[in-house]
């Protein structure tokens, strides 16, 4: 839960964080596009801020949140993609549809992290109202797209550190 005390959108990120030479795919749901496209803007601006070249950011749209998993798998299986950011927004309605979609997407993205062994970042808002979604896509609770981009870069940094440690042990 984003709070004033835990909001990566407004915190200073790791000054040693760099996306130089990294290729990031962003899969963004068109459903609730006012929200998801605001998160996309936050994510791309943050990646560029941390030296990911514009040409190294692939953006692909899918119809809705449920399709994020397959879009992420297609992007994540490409050798030249280092990380995938999944951006979506599901707003609770009057039926159980919300729970099914949220559970399916959460499970799917979790499984992709494990099976692809690369960062597949969950930036799917699951809110009770449009107002809550707006608050988290550039409003009072920051922009979860920014946080997703930082998470992708932090995970890639961790991977690189672990690979470097493994290489030094094998020498």
Predicted confidence at residue 122, as pLDDT, reads 97
* pLDDT band per the 50, 70, 90 thresholds, residue 1: very low
Residue 9 has pLDDT above 60, yes or no: no
Of the residues 54, 60, 97, 141, which is catalytic?
97
Mean pLDDT of 24-42: 97
60 is catalytic: no
Taking only the tens place, the pLDDT of each residue in 83-92 is: 999 999 999 9
Count other C-beta atoms under 10 Å from residue 171's C-beta.
4
What pTM does this model have? 0.89
Which domains, from first to last, does the chain contain?
24-169 (3.40.50.960)
Q: What is the pLDDT of residue 14?
A: 58
Average pLDDT in the 36-58 region? 97
Alpha helices in the chain (DSSP H): 33-49, 68-76, 97-116, 130-135, 144-169
């Amino acid at each position: 839960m984003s709070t004033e005390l835990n909001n990566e959108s407004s915190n200073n990120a790791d000054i040693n964080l760099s996306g130089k030479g990294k290729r990031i795919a962003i899969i963004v749901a068109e459903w609730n596009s006012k929200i998801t496209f605001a998160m996309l803007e936050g994510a791309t601006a943050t990646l560029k801020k941390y030296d990911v070249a514009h040409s190294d950011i692939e953006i692909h749209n899918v119809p809705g949140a449920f399709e994020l998993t397959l879009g992420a798998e297609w992007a994540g299986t490409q050798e030249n993609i280092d990380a995938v950011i999944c951006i979506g927004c599901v707003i609770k309605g009057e039926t159980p549809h919300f729970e099914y979609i949220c559970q399916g997407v959460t499970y799917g993205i979790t499984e992709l992290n494990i099976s692809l062994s690369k960062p597949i970042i969950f930036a799917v808002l699951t809110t009770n109202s449009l107002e809550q979604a707006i608050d988290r896509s550039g409003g009072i609770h920051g922009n979860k797209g920014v946080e997703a981009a930082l998470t992708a870069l932090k995970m890639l940094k961790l991977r690189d550190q672990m690979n470097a440690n493994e290489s030094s042990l094998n020498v």
